[in-house]
Structure 1
């Protein structure tokens, strides 16, 4: 009798903030994000210099949870989700915690993309989705072993998600997605007619 074990699992955490409180949070985050994008000249210059479509505060603002109260409110919610994910991953944190290392705004216009990348120097990364218009792109996740599969045949069109080389996570407003920071991911072209607004973040072990 043969047995098959599932080893070296890559986990992605998903939660949904819903209800009137989430609607109010998203409305305030959207307004704050658009206002900051309009005023952040350093961020605008960085985006133009680096060919980044739309706007990100990644390279210009590092204190959003302390600068704007609604981002501080979001941080409190994220802390609890990151703690739950760390528990599921069975991290031995040696009495220390995973704490926010960085948090930034992303505003992706129609036709914009965010190419494949990882988040070095952190443990857990993730995104909170504020505004997701119809047709907005899903998050694309890549099998971390892909570069070693030189002779592997392609997977069947209807293969189980855990056997595919890429996975797509389609968010809604209020979705929290978390993954380990080494997991390569990208945002394919935004085919919506409106802007896709999200808040990304990293947690480090301190």
Structure 2
């Protein structure tokens, strides 16, 4: 909230929250990278889906839905993510009736140079997020879109010097080991990977 001349008050209402924190286990990050590279080499069904859909790299999104059961590394990751998501749910003031949000899906993303992921949201979920495993220099960040954009109608564009949180788009470039969480209705995209190496991450939904 800020005050202007004449004691007028300008309030900020209905904030869009973005959670950012370290995962909390750097050794697990290295183990995840090893497991993800193994999956990218061995998951023939996943590689075939990527070729058919023009995905530059590898994702387990359409081929493997049991990673926390298949690999204990992902089971360890789930336990840590549960804690982060619980903290974010509290920050969002969710009334969950004494229950907790539960992991619904989890998949890996192995994005080669030149790869990107177009704007989308995650229907039927409450919280979505990504853990960043490798982010070489030039790797594509996460671009978030003002959720009011379809309703702005005749609103002028925002100035280039608009404060953070007021711009129409906001791009976050996290470091390896960072967890980002947002409400699943928030539209987002992965900027083109301009790095020479792979951008590796794990994405997930809670409901």
Return the TM-score normalized by structure 2: 0.94
SS across alignment from 2:10: coil
Which of 78, 101, 104 in structure 2 is aligned with 1:101? 104
Which of 10, 33, 36 in structure 1 is aligned with 2:16? 10
Runs of 4+ in 1 over 4 A off after TM superposition: none
Structure 1: gaps (5+ residues) = none
Q: How far apart, CA to CA, are the structure 1 residues paired with 2:22 and 2:141?
A: 15
**How far 1:17 sits from its partner (Å)?**
3.3
1:115 is aligned to 118
1:146 is aligned to 149
Q: How far apart, CA to CA, are the structure 1 residues paired with 2:175 and 2:165?
A: 22
Provide Cα deviations, 1:40-97, integer angstroms capped at 9, x if missing partner. 1111111111112211000110111111111111111100000000001010001222
Q: How far apart, CA to CA, are the structure 2 residues paired with 1:137 and 1:50?
A: 20
Measured on the aligned residues, the alpha-carbon RMSD in Å equals: 1.0
1:196 is aligned to 199
Structure 2: gaps (5+ residues) = 1-6
Number of residues of Structure 1 aligned to a counterpart in Structure 2: 201
Q: How far apart, CA to CA, are the structure 2 residues paired with 1:161 and 1:85?
A: 20
1:72 is aligned to 75
Structure with greater helix percent: 1
Bigger mean CA deviation after superposition, 33-42 or 195-204: 33-42
Q: How far apart, CA to CA, are the structure 2 residues paired with 1:118 and 1:82?
A: 18
1:88 is aligned to 91
Provide Cα deviations, 1:15-40, integer angstroms capped at 9, x if missing partner. 0136xx41x21111111001011111
Q: How far apart, CA to CA, are the structure 1 residues paired with 2:165 and 2:181?
A: 17
